[in-house]
Amino acid sequence: MLMLSLSTSGPIASAAVIKDGQVLSREVGGHGRTHSETIMPLCEKALQTAGYTPADMDAFGVDAGPGSFTGVRIGICAANAMAAAFGKPVAAASSLEGLLYGIDNACALLDCRNGNGYAMAKYEGFSPEPMAVVIDDLLSTLPDGILMAGDGAVMHRERILNALPNARFAEDNDITADKIGLAAYDNLIRGETAAEALPLYLRPSQAERLAKERNK
């Protein structure tokens, strides 16, 4: 089973080719350029490195967010367009799923300013679901010693250690297409596919929040 995976929800864009749950290739870029400029060349390079074409893919995987509202839409549109062109399904995974892929007793945390974040936790007795959180409230619920991952873990390290003195921190905090692809591949195997993917928005965009304030 072959899958081309895309990720554009974070600061870097990336593409990866997954075969039967194994990463064949990964290409990362986007520094200093927009994701709309870089994602398709990255897909082409990842496919070329793996020795395949888009027509060889059995499915397309994509990062559904949360993350940059514009970035998420770019990846979703690209994956949906390729899936439609080749008549293949799309399997999505959240950016938080990607950060936690293959890790237990861990929490992925993405910063979204003003003490807020997006989070997903995996530990015994807790069902992992992406959620919008107040970071201090989140930390009050997590077990000490948990592994923290994501840009929120990096940005709020001191705050985390004040609440959880034995917290551990992941070395790799980037959201990349290989992690997304592995999570999306598992979702594909479970039958969680669609003709097109939809973005995962856990809170309104800044433009929507400003419009709501103006209309009060």
Residue 33 DSSP label = S
Residue 158 confidence (pLDDT): 97
Task: Report pLDDT digits (tens) over 17-73.
Answer: 999 999 999 999 966 568 999 999 999 999 999 999 999 999 999 999 999 999 999
In words, the CATH class of domain 2-95+174-214 is alpha beta
Checking 131-140 for CB contacts under 8 A at 24+ apart, the result is 131/202, 132/66, 132/202, 132/203, 135/109, 135/111, 135/159, 136/163, 138/107, 138/109, 139/163, 139/164
- CA angle 137–141–145, rounded 5-degree value: 120
Question: Quick count: other Cβ atoms within 10 Å of Cβ 32?
Answer: 6
- 43's CB contacts (< 8 A; 6+ apart) are 4, 6, 15, 27, 54, 78, 82
Q: Are strands 90-93 and 13-19 parallel, antiparallel or unpaired?
A: unpaired
Query: Across all residues in the chain, what is the average pLDDT?
Result: 91
Task: Report pLDDT digits (tens) over 88-130.
Answer: 999 999 999 999 999 999 999 999 999 999 999 999 877 678 9
Q: Could you state, in order of their start, the residue ranges of all structural domains in the chain?
A: 2-95+174-214, 104-169
- 159, 139 contact by CB (below 8 A): yes
Paired strand residues for 16: 5, 26
| Ramachandran category for residue 120: left, alpha or beta (phi over 0 → left; psi -120 to 50 → alpha) | beta
pTM of the model: 0.89
Comparing 198 with 85, the larger pLDDT belongs to: 85
